[in-house]
Amino acid sequence: MATLFKDVYISDGSRTIAERVHLLVSKGRIASITDARENPPSADKIISGRGKMAVIPGFVNAHTHAAMVLLRGLGEDAPLMEWLKNKIWPVEDKLTPEYIYWGTLSAMLEMLATGTTCFADMYFEMEGVADAVLSAGMKAALCRGITAGEPGKIERSLQNNIELAEKYHGREGLITVQLGPHAPYTVPMEAMKSITEAAKSHGLGVHFHFLETKGERDNLGMTPSEYLEASGLDSVPYANLAHSVWLDPDTELHENISLIHCPCSNLKLGSGIMPLPSWLDRDVPVALGTDGASSNNRLDMWEEMRTAAILHKGASMNPVCVPAVDALRMATYEGARAFGFSQKGMIREGWAADLVLVNLDSPHYIGVNGENLAAYLVYAGSSGDIAGTMVNGRWLYRNGEYPTLDREEIMQKSHEARKAITE
Ligand SMILES: [Zn+2]
């Protein structure tokens, strides 16, 4: 089925000026983009924008723990390690595969309504997460969080992560799989080496928490460069380093490394502010993520994009840094690229029709035009402007409804799971 977005603005992370076009979606891809002054192509379904709607690429949440929506609100206003040890890890022990499955679906309701089409998830019981992704028709980059514990735990978790890759990597074009060592403070160096060796031999990327807090940097025992080399992270097919708040900005990074900025989670946990402008100045790829809903507490990538765009202007007293278009690119294309999704995250012919329809017919868009649309979206807009979210040309969220998901059942099962793990 072909869907025509007739006379809409298109904006993405490569356009400083938004064009007014007819955008045709067919067979899951962007089939054509033609000038809005020309006659539109024919289609089965027509969405008439009349210049009052915009189409942007779907957001890619490059770091989250989706099922942690079930732990939202537990232990607020506490430092990271205290929060993890006292509030999060004891409750996580009670999570079952079933709870994680329903929690992930519940997170997907939030993510789709706020324009996310793809999310990079690190958690456990990931087969259920993969099945939830496939049943919804979303895209995801999945890894099993690997942490030390009783003897043999790391080996079993790594084996489980490799099996996840064998079963799901590339599945229906919706899923990529990475290896997921949790962090330097939960995975000893020797185990890191065996995980990166496995990544190389299986051709997999790695998703890793790195230098989220100052204490973690102080206890690393070497420079970040030395750590990346000693662990083998700088020679795996690709490594995506979540947070990197305390990664020294003069660190030389190999081309296989991308950083994932989680500004709201870092602010809320008091972890600090990543030196984003330094990385952008050096053309180091940086994607955006929310982190889990129990540290953010939202899964709203639009807010993450806006925060990334304004936070560093204030922190560095430089209103020129992190322009709106860069923030939009980080929230969309950079995450897709970092996690192995090709032709996703820009509005281009032939690319995946992973799109968000934005309603511009609101007071806060008065004065919007092609020249200023990106800035209006990033600074004035919010996920409340979203009229629909599409993955591979299929609506997964449209005007408050979820065509592929049973919202009532997901809500009920998630309430039950929350009750079971917290009582
Ligand atoms: Zn995290």
Cα of 299 vs centre of ligand 1, distance in Å, is: 12
Cα of 145 vs centre of ligand 1, distance in Å, is: 10
Residue 190: predicted pLDDT: 97
Cα of 337 vs centre of ligand 1, distance in Å, is: 19
DSSP state letters, 328-357: HHHHTHHHHHHTT--S-SS--TTSB--EEE
Fold of 3-58+351-398: Urease, subunit C; domain 1 (2.30.40)
pLDDT higher than threshold 90 for residue 404: yes
Q: What is the mean pLDDT of the chain?
A: 97
pLDDT, tens only, 102-152 = 999 999 999 999 999 999 999 999 999 999 999 999 999 999 999 999 999
The span from the CA of 63 to the CA of 38, in Å, is 41
Exposure string over 188-198, b if 16+ CB within 10 A, otherwise e: eeebbeebbeb
pLDDT higher than threshold 90 for residue 84: no
Domain boundaries, the chain: 3-58+351-398, 59-121+189-202+209-338
pLDDT, tens only, 19-65 = 999 999 999 999 999 999 999 999 999 999 999 999 999 999 999 99
CATH class as words, domain 59-121+189-202+209-338: alpha beta
Q: How far apart are the first and last CA of the chain?
A: 48
Cα of 77 vs centre of ligand 1, distance in Å, is: 17
> What share of residues in the chain are helix, strand, coil (percent, to 5)?
40, 25, 35
Cα of 183 vs centre of ligand 1, distance in Å, is: 9
pLDDT, tens only, 279-307 = 999 999 999 999 999 889 999 999 999 99
325, 398 contact by CB (below 8 A): no
Cα of 255 vs centre of ligand 1, distance in Å, is: 22
pLDDT higher than threshold 90 for residue 389: yes
Cα of 301 vs centre of ligand 1, distance in Å, is: 15
Residue 112: predicted pLDDT: 98
The span from the CA of 300 to the CA of 119, in Å, is 11
pLDDT higher than threshold 90 for residue 211: yes
Residue 81: predicted pLDDT: 84
Residue 307: predicted pLDDT: 98
| Mean pLDDT, rounded, for 67-84 | 88
Cα of 317 vs centre of ligand 1, distance in Å, is: 28
Beta strands at 59-64 and 205-210: parallel, antiparallel or unpaired: unpaired
In the chain, the amino acid numbered 372 is N
Residue 363: predicted pLDDT: 98
pLDDT higher than threshold 90 for residue 79: no
Residue 95: predicted pLDDT: 94
Question: Can 3-58+351-398 and 59-121+189-202+209-338 be said to share one CATH topology?
Answer: no
In the chain, the amino acid numbered 275 is P
Question: Binning pLDDT at 50, 70 and 90, where does residue 209 land?
Answer: very high
Cα of 88 vs centre of ligand 1, distance in Å, is: 12
Residue 351: predicted pLDDT: 98
Cα of 373 vs centre of ligand 1, distance in Å, is: 32
Cα of 122 vs centre of ligand 1, distance in Å, is: 7
Cα of 401 vs centre of ligand 1, distance in Å, is: 29
